[in-house]
Copies of this chain bind each other. A is one copy, B any other.
Amino acid sequence: MPKVGMEPLRRKALIEAAIAAIGARGSLDVTMSEIAGIAGVSSALAHHYFGAKDDLLEATMRHLLSELGRDGCAALRAAPQPRARVSAMVAVSFSPTQFRPETVAAWLAFYVEAQRSPAMRRLLRVYARRLHSNLMSGLRPLMPALRAERVAEGIAALIDGLYIRRALKDGPPDPRSAVALVEDYVETMLATEARTS
């Protein structure tokens, strides 16, 4: 039984606590004590492991981002055909692990923070670029490059739009109708493409 240092455990617990706190409050306006409390430690310990609050928040964002990245890669590996790759990316965006109220609230809050913090903006751009290139890997074989770019932009905007609009509703999210809306977009664009080329 390999005894291991506390550091990684605490870091993980604190990051998850941060997501929970942000999800509950619905914004980044959470205190270190709150987060630490959820993680079951003192606020001093949170500072010990993360330094400043912003660092913890940035680490939290990174965590969300890498989780999404991991899910995305896995989904793509299981989808070799172009059309399926597009659907895979859409499905991941609204999968139960991503499209939860806490996660949605956190993403939203980070988008707002991105306006102030260049670091956050950079991170969000990484997400946007990755989504874009993943979508392109599915769309390029199906239509002219310029058109594919346009459709990828549309899909991305639709996804983000459905995320933000989710903030207006209460009750559990409805991933099925969200996916249906985006899939309908993709399908219609493909049909039009087939007809005009």
What is the interface of chain A, defined by CB distance below 8 A to chain B?
Answer: 25-27, 29, 105, 108-109, 111-116, 121, 124-125, 128, 150, 153-154, 156-165, 167-168, 170, 181, 184-185, 188-189, 191-192, 195
Contact = CB atoms under 8 A, between A and B. Distances in A.
The A contact surface, by secondary structure, is: helix
A159 B188 CA distance: 19
Given A26-B116, A121-B167, A160-B160, 6 more contacts: A27-B116, A105-B115, A111-B167, A114-B167, A157-B181, A195-B195
Contact of A154 (B25, B168, B185): B185
A190 to B, nearest CB: 10
B121 A168 contact: yes
A150 B29 contact: no
A157 B165 contact: yes
